[in-house]
Amino acid sequence: MVFSHNYLSRIARDIFKACGTPGSEAEIVAEHLVTSSLMGLDSHGIIRIPQYVNAIKEGTIRPGAKVTILKETSTTAIVDAGYNFGQVGGTRGIEVAIEKAKKNSVSSVIVRRSNHAGRLGAYPQLAAEEGFISMAMCSSIGGGHFVSPWGGKEGRLATNPIAFVAPTKGNPIIVDVSTSVASEGKIRVKQQQNELLSEEWILDADGNPSTNPKDFYGQPRGVILPLGGKQGYKGYAFSLMVEIMAGILLGDGYTPKDIKEPINGLWLMVLDISAYMSIKQFKHQIDGLIKYLKSSSPVDDFSGVTVPGELDFGKMEERKRKGIPVENSIWKNIKELAKKLDVKIEAKEKTE
């Protein structure tokens, strides 16, 4: 099934509203999920609608919860999302960070008690759209500790991604990668498709390398390895950096014992380019850097060097035109949800 992004946005918004989400928040979350789907990042897209609705039912997402600033200085803040959607907490967090960077050149904001943040790059991207450089890190407290510390065979860290966005003359450069070798979602997909994993992705519960997804989902569970293969101590080091910035600084703890329901912790940094050079000069230099990178001739199997985010924006253009493909099973879930919530839905498939 293929649907237009506008149609899917409407459905998502209406479903969240029907669960008691204020319109402005439903808008933020729907826009976030559909943008991820448009970019081809399906694991962070509309597939999450049923998960979020379920979390609302269970009380772990609290739509409409007041997002407050607990503590602040001229350049820093602790934003408390009150268990609202991660997207609502993250969006407010980056707004606060942008405000502070406008006045004081650089800012460092953390967001606590915030549910699933979704596509991490979305938040620094909002800052880049206003001409700033921005970095983000995301931890998971209370759960999702699927990733082993280097040399360990039990999970102690989440996939702990790092995002970084810089404006250019065209689409921004969007770095948005986990510090583990793969996400849990990718392993799940491989299992569903009865495929083996690449080597150096997981260890079974006994700490032996495995390519079988079942060894990860077994009882006891296996672990995902930190990014880097034989240099996995580097991925582990980056992951620990994320755990400190986006986890420890929240003050809420760090183990599954500390928090009943897993939440995401965010660290957001915004930097005013004009503290260093004019935005025009910056964009001119970035443009030259991109050309320099692309002047490297490609290896076999590659048509050319791209910059991070470029392929996602390409996919976005394509899906805006052709629509977003949605798997039957996912569409069935969303339809049933809509029916239960009395949300009007007709399977208006996109035809070009």
Tokens of 53: 């609705």
Q: How many residues bind a copy of itself (CB under 8 A)?
A: 88
Among 347, 325, 322, CA closest to 1: 325
Q: Which is nearer to a copy of itself, 292 or 349 (CB)?
A: 292
Listed residue (191, 196, 181) closest to 148, CA to CA: 181
Of 25 and 243, nearer to a copy of itself (C-beta) is 243
Residue 194 neighbours by CB under 8 Å, 6+ apart: none
Q: Is the peptide bond before 220 cis (omega within 30 degrees of 0)?
A: yes
| Range 198-257, binding a copy of itself (CB under 8 A) | 198, 200, 203, 207, 227-231, 233-238, 240-241, 243-245, 247-249, 251, 253-255
Residue 299 touches a copy of itself, criterion: CB under 8 A = yes
- By CB under 8 A, residue 151 contacts a copy of itself: yes
CB of 240 to a copy of itself, least distance (A): 6
286 binds a copy of itself (CB under 8 A): yes
Cβ of residue 162: shortest distance to a copy of itself, in angstroms? 7
Q: Which of 175, 263, 268, 334 binds a copy of itself (CB under 8 A)?
A: 175
Q: Which residues of 96-120 are buried (b: 16+ CB within 10 A; e: fewer)?
A: bbbebbeeebbbbbbbbbbbbbbbb
Evaluate whether 75 touches 107 at the Cβ level (below 8 Å): yes
Least distance in Å: CB of 238 to a copy of itself? 7
Q: Is 155 in the site for a copy of itself (CB under 8 A)?
A: yes
CB 155 within 8 A of CB 146: yes
Q: How crowded is residue 75: how many other Cβ atoms within 10 Å of its Cβ?
A: 16
Per-residue x/- track, 61-100, a copy of itself (CB under 8 A): ----------x-xxxx-x----------------------
> Rule CB under 8 A: is residue 146 a binding residue for a copy of itself?
no
Give the x-and-dash track for 17-36 against a copy of itself (CB under 8 A): --------------------
Instruction: State which of residues 24, 193, 194, 296 lies at the interface with a copy of itself (CB under 8 A).
Output: 296
Q: In angstroms, rounded to a whole number, what is the distance separating the alpha carbons of residues 128 and 174?
A: 10
What are the DSSP calls for 189-238, one per residue? HHHHTT-PPPTTSEE-TTS-EE--HHHHHSSS--EEPBTTGGGHHHHHHH
Q: Please, which of residues 182-201 interact with a copy of itself by CB under 8 A?
A: 182, 198, 200
Question: Which of 170, 185, 218, 304: binder of a copy of itself (CB under 8 A)?
Answer: 304
C-alpha 238/C-alpha 232 separation (Å) is: 10
- Least separation in angstroms between CB 68 and a copy of itself: 15
